[in-house]
Homo-oligomer: A and B are copies of this chain.
């Protein structure tokens, strides 16, 4: 038997691997809490919740809590329950989002609302939301409760604002940023900040981790919204063109509309109003977005926020935690799924 050395291929793209490796052990503890606390005497609850929870999400938010805890050198175990609470809040909002949007696919699978119906999906979302507060209460930190209850309120405000802006062609980039700051970035920020709280670090460290999470969340959402006009459903595990058909005013559309000719702007008005949303219209929309480099511009915006996220943690000591968090921010922009 001869030993053959296979050199590892050089990684061309930033990846989530370093982050996942950093928190792998801790995530076992978080996942144990998640599985334990989604149980109920009503079997439908773990069945429905488990469909989404076991459905292959990245669990970015709890990973960020654990990575932030590692960054500040936290040696305790309180963050496992709190990371699970964060994931429950996120899962509850996904369940309700799918009802609100009438979605039928998420992460390449049928959504819970299609399988179990809207009523059960709404109620199990409520259950997970309640459970997340029970987990926080068990931890007992009023400061953590304040941060996460505020994040939860801000998330719903962002989602309502998104609903109001739907099919409104005149939505500005500012308003879009305000919406994604609420619906996505607030929970990323809270997930990171609470690690500094349990580690009893300074307000400045709390604010730095909040800023990392917030900017990373914005970068992730911008990249998500770029992907919806950049790849097909098979690649991204959700239905491509969903945003277009739902008349959601995401940045690629906002930029293509702003940069477009009068004729193009008339098309966008009709499309976002819901009058032109067939497959041919989607293809035309993607063509217009390409013509004006709107996906590319959206990714550049994402890069800006990812850079801000990285700079927010610049003062923390170097090490595997910081390196993993930096690469996660680079991944947020570079990913294509």
Q: In the complex, what residues of B have CB within 8 A of residue A93's CB?
A: 126
Known: A101-B119, A130-B152. 18 other contacts (CB 8 A): A44-B160, A44-B164, A45-B160, A92-B126, A93-B126, A100-B118, A100-B119, A118-B118, A123-B159, A123-B163, A126-B159, A127-B153, A129-B152, A130-B149, A130-B155, A133-B149, A133-B152, A134-B149
Taken together, the copies of this chain in the complex come to: 2
- Give the docked Cα–Cα distance between A287 and B99 (Å): 39
Q: In the complex, what residues of B have CB within 8 A of residue A152's CB?
A: 126, 129-130, 133
Are B134 and A42 in contact, CB atoms less than 8 angstroms apart?
A: no
Are A137 and B131 in contact, CB atoms less than 8 angstroms apart?
A: no
A322 within 8 A of B: no
- Give the docked Cα–Cα distance between A101 and B161 (Å): 25
Within 8 A of B (CB), among A294-330: none
Q: In the complex, what residues of B have CB within 8 A of residue A44's CB?
A: 160, 163-164
Contact of A142 among B142, B153, B160 (CB under 8 A): B142
- Give the docked Cα–Cα distance between A157 and B164 (Å): 31
A90 within 8 A of B: no
Closest beta carbon of chain B to A193's beta carbon, Å: 15
Q: In the complex, what residues of B have CB within 8 A of residue A123's CB?
A: 96, 100, 156, 159-160, 163
Closest beta carbon of chain B to A273's beta carbon, Å: 17
Quick one: given A100-B123, A122-B99, A160-B45, are A153 and B130 in contact (CB under 8 Å)? yes
A69 within 8 A of B: no
Q: In the complex, what residues of B have CB within 8 A of residue A40's CB?
A: 157, 160
Are A126 and B124 in contact, CB atoms less than 8 angstroms apart?
A: no
Within 8 A of B (CB), among A4-25: none
Q: In the complex, what residues of B have CB within 8 A of residue A96's CB?
A: 122-123, 126
A146 within 8 A of B: yes
Closest beta carbon of chain B to A28's beta carbon, Å: 25
Are A161 and B129 in contact, CB atoms less than 8 angstroms apart?
A: no
- Do most interface residues of chain A lie in helix, strand or loop, or is the interface mixed? helix
Q: In the complex, what residues of B have CB within 8 A of residue A127's CB?
A: 153, 156-157, 160
Closest beta carbon of chain B to A136's beta carbon, Å: 8
When C-beta atoms are compared, the residue in chain B nearest to A131 turns out to be B153
Closest beta carbon of chain B to A325's beta carbon, Å: 28
Are A118 and B137 in contact, CB atoms less than 8 angstroms apart?
A: no
Contact of A41 among B122, B125, B134, B157 (CB under 8 A): B157
A145 within 8 A of B: yes
Are A122 and B100 in contact, CB atoms less than 8 angstroms apart?
A: yes
- Give the docked Cα–Cα distance between A153 and B124 (Å): 10
Q: In the complex, what residues of B have CB within 8 A of residue A77's CB?
A: none
Q: In the complex, what residues of B have CB within 8 A of residue A163's CB?
A: 44, 119-120, 123
